[in-house]
Amino acid sequence: MTIRKALLRAFLLIGRAPAILLAVLAFVKAREAVQAEIEHGLVAQAEAIASDINRIMFERLQNAATWSTLEVMQDLQVQDVDKRLSNFLAKLKTGYGGVYRELYALNRDGIVVSSSNPAFLGQRIARLPVWQATTLAGAVLALERPVRSGEAATLAIRTPIASQFGGEALGELILQFDWGQIDALLDTAASGGRMVAVVDTSGGMLAASRRLRDAGLLSGQALG
């Protein structure tokens, strides 16, 4: 090997190392930029979904707070003998187009006096533990944890009905919100093969997109 060839080879080896290093650094930087962009997109999507859920739930709570103070609710005092309150609840259910699975008005003993579905009249509605509670427009609102039965999911919103005369409690209004609408919202957000879920503070899954539901991950166990 001539000195000229040896010097040329050494020069090429010396020049190649910085080029490789620069290429690696460029790849790392590009990967970090892509990862940051993906994370930003996911955060933005999560915030948008959370905003939609908050809006939906606020509207449902606002319904409960407003309806519980209407004059027709006072028919609980006479056990809704003319079924005026039941008819009103039935019209609300129909008018809201599937938002609510059922609407009930209970007396002080927890018996259904008025209902959007006559089949429930006279029944006692089981009271589950309060999951969340809040106050809106002076109304005390209690939410039970979503309950699932097959593909159906329901979240009960309860609020007292007070007498407009003496102020004492006449009973309670219950709105059975179709929680499956939250699942449907997550289904829409899970396009492109993504999986989306709503979890509580303990990691329990409250709602999920189709792939997670089909995998049986809504059985109540916390996510690891």
* Residues in the chain where the model's pLDDT stays below 70: 1-42, 219-224
Question: Which residues lie below 8 Å from residue 174, measured CB to CB, with a gap of 6+?
Answer: 102, 103, 104, 105, 106, 125, 156, 157, 158
User: Can you read off the two tokens belonging to residue 182?
Assistant: 């939250």
pLDDT in the model for residue 28: 58
So what's the pLDDT on residue 144?
A: 96
173 vs 8: CA distance, rounded Å = 89
Contacts of 134 (CB under 8 A, 6+ apart): 61, 141, 143
What's the pLDDT score for residue 105? 98
pTM (global) more than 0.85: no
pLDDT at 155: 96
- The confidence score (pLDDT) of residue 53 equals 93
The whole-number pLDDT of residue 63 equals 98
d(CA 6, CA 26): 31
